[in-house]
């Protein structure tokens, strides 16, 4: 009996189980104060440019709160800068597409006599913040929503460092969050025209676990489909194994359930082609345990498991004790010799 297998539906359309990226607050209405008359009198007509740094928070409604002066050359600027910032409006920060507060934003006003006041945000700004993939090993005991609060510093090159977990709802996710933030990139903080380190930046990574507990990254899917093509179309199991080894080395520690299922589907096909029926059976059993949403693929996998178990003389976990297939049957091409 020859074993053959159709092209598996390797990737499912179920909901992703990835950490969600944050969107920082962005200003929608912001005006700068005029040079205060009191400061003109206090500092004189020939005063050099004056720099005032102000920190503030942005509420879920996009309103500025907790406005406070961080650095100021003279108290005569205080009322003007606080009033100006309190009048600003922001599109609020979002986490999991929900509005959230954002704390410790910073702006620096530059006051020059007879010129418009300039307002520049010199604090760090995110340039690249790719969310991490939800680790498969953490899913079993996870709640639908989990959050990890992480604190880190940003150096003068915009790289993250000194990353630590401040609070977490699931410690299994801590390493995933830290590893992800190691790859983040920021525009560094600017002080007096130069990049300086920024300490104690905090962010919350929210992990959302869909009911299907699945998700697949485009890069992983593309490589696994290439390996699948090598087996199903080119009949080149060796090339498929090379691609699978590359995928496992690069992504294996953070495979999602869908990715893990697809990996074992493709590898099972390749092992089947080489005549390694025991290895193929183990892979297809893993796929069965992880589950697939595609009915046709599920049926093919079940049938293949039954055939391989019968060939190897192994009792099937898919059948009851009264339904076990009888030993013997047709000769199998390429099967290992009987002992």
Based on the domain organization, do 90 and 132 belong to the same domain? no
Q: Which residues have CB under 8 Å from 47's CB, separation 6+?
A: 39, 40, 113
Among the candidates 156, 181, 209, a domain finishes at 209
- Asked whether residue 264 is assigned to any structural domain, the reply reads yes
Comparison of pLDDT for 20 and 234, the residue scoring more: 234
Pairing of strands 125-128, 185-187: antiparallel
The CA–CA distances, whole Å, from 326 to 306, 311, 318, 332, 339 equal: 12, 10, 15, 15, 18
pLDDT band, residue 7 (cuts 50/70/90): very low
- Provide, for the chain, the percentages of residues in helix, strand and coil under a 3-state DSSP scheme, each rounded to the nearest 5: 35, 25, 35
Q: What is the pLDDT of residue 113?
A: 93
Q: Which residue, 209, 237, 258, sits at the end of a domain?
A: 209
Residue 121 has pLDDT above 80, yes or no: no
167 φψ region: left (φ > 0), alpha (ψ -120 to 50), beta (else): beta
For position 192, what pLDDT does the model report? 65
Domain housing 76: 25-121
Q: Are residues 195 and 226 in the same domain?
A: no
Model confidence at 215, pLDDT cuts 50, 70, 90, reads: low
**Is the same domain home to 95 and 152?**
no
Supply 334's token pair: 């390429």
Q: What is the mean pLDDT of the chain?
A: 80
pLDDT surpassing 80 at residue 333: no
pLDDT in tens, 232-291: 888 899 999 999 999 998 888 778 777 888 899 999 999 988 999 999 999 999 988 887
**More reliable by pLDDT, 196 or 242:** 242
Pick the last residue of a domain from 76, 104, 121. 121
- Report yes or no on 234 lying in a domain: yes
Mark whether 158 and 106 lie in a shared domain: no
Mean pLDDT of 72-86: 95
What distance in Å separates the CA atoms of residue 215 and residue 201, rounded to the nearest whole number? 29
- Asked which of 17-26, 54-63, 73-82, 123-132 is least confident by mean pLDDT, the reply is 17-26
Contact 64, 85 (CB under 8 A): yes
Distance CA 224, CA 239 (A): 12
Q: CATH no. for residue 193?
A: 3.30.1150.10
223 in a domain, yes or no?
yes
Average pLDDT over residues 291-297: 69
Question: Domain for residue 339, yes or no?
Answer: no
**Is residue 110 in a domain?**
yes
CATH of the domain at 72: 3.30.2420.10
Output the pLDDT for position 14: 31
Has residue 272 been placed in a domain?
yes
Q: Could you tell me the pLDDT band of residue 17, with boundaries at 50, 70 and 90?
A: very low
The reply to whether 154 and 117 lie within a common domain is: no
Asked if residue 180 is part of any domain, the answer here is: yes
| Residue 241 vs residues 218, 304, 308: alpha-carbon distances, Å | 20, 20, 21
Statement: residue 223 has pLDDT above 80: yes
CA distance 282 to 268: 8
Residue 334 to residue 2: CA distance in whole angstroms: 8
If asked whether residues 223 and 308 sit together in one domain, one would say yes
Average pLDDT of 109-136?
82
DSSP line for 195-217: EE-EEEEEEEEEEE--TT-----
Q: What is the average pLDDT across 83-91? A: 94
What was the pLDDT predicted at 198? 87
Tell me the C-alpha distance between 196 and 199, whole Å.
10
Question: Do 131 and 178 fall within a single domain?
Answer: yes
Is 141 in the same domain as 228? no
Give me the pLDDT at residue 110, please. Answer: 93
The SS3 call for residue 29 is strand
Residues 70 and 138 in one domain: no
The reported pTM is: 0.42
| Lowest mean pLDDT, pick from 66-75, 286-295, 302-311 | 286-295
Q: Are residues 158 and 241 in the same domain?
A: no
Domain check: are 167 and 110 in the same one? Answer: no
Query: Is 68 a domain residue?
Result: yes
Which residues fall within 8 angstroms of residue 93, CB to CB, at 6 or more apart? Answer: 22, 23, 24, 25, 58, 99, 100, 101, 102
DSSP, collapsed to helix, strand or coil, labels residue 221 as helix
Domain tally, the chain: 3
Residue 58 and residue 72 in one domain: yes
Task: Among 1-15, 62-76, 86-100, name the most confident range.
Answer: 62-76
> How far is Cα 3 from Cα 281, in angstroms, rounded to an integer?
12
């Amino acid at each position: 009996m020859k074993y053959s297998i159709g092209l598996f539906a390797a990737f499912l359309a179920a909901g992703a189980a990835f950490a969600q990226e944050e969107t920082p607050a962005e200003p929608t209405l912001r005006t700068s104060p005029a040079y205060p008359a009191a400061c003109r009198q206090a500092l004189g007509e020939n005063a050099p440019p004056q720099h005032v740094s102000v920190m503030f928070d942005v509420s879920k409604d996009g309103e500025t709160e907790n406005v406070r002066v961080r650095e100021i050359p003279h108290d005569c600027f205080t009322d003007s800068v606080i009033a100006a910032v309190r009048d600003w409006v922001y599109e609020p920060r979002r986490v999991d597409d929900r509005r959230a507060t954002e704390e410790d934003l910073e702006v620096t006003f530059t006051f020059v006599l007879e010129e418009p006041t300039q307002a520049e945000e010199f604090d760090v700004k995110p340039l690249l913040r790719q969310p991490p993939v939800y680790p498969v090993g953490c899913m079993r005991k996870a709640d639908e929503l989990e959050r990890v609060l992480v604190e880190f510093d940003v150096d003068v090159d915009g790289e993250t460092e000194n990353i630590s977990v401040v609070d977490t709802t699931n410690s299994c996710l801590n390493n995933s969050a830290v590893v992800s933030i190691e790859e983040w990139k920021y525009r560094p903080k600017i002080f007096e025209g130069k990049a300086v380190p920024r300490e104690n930046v905090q962010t919350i990574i929210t992990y959302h676990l869909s009911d299907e507990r699945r998700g697949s990254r485009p890069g992983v899917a593309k490589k696994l489909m290439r390996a699948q093509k090598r087996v199903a179309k080119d009949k080149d199991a060796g090339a498929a194994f090379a691609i699978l080894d590359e995928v496992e080395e690069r992504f294996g520690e953070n495979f999602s359930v869908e990715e893990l299922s697809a990996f074992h589907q493709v590898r099972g096909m390749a092992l089947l082609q080489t005549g390694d029926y025991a290895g193929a059976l183990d892979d297809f059993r893993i796929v069965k345990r992880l589950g697939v949403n595609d009915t046709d693929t599920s049926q093919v996998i079940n049938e293949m498991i039954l055939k391989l178990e019968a060939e190897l003389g192994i009792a099937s976990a898919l059948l009851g004790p009264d339904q076990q297939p009888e030993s013997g049957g047709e000769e199998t091409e390429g099967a290992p010799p009987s002992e």
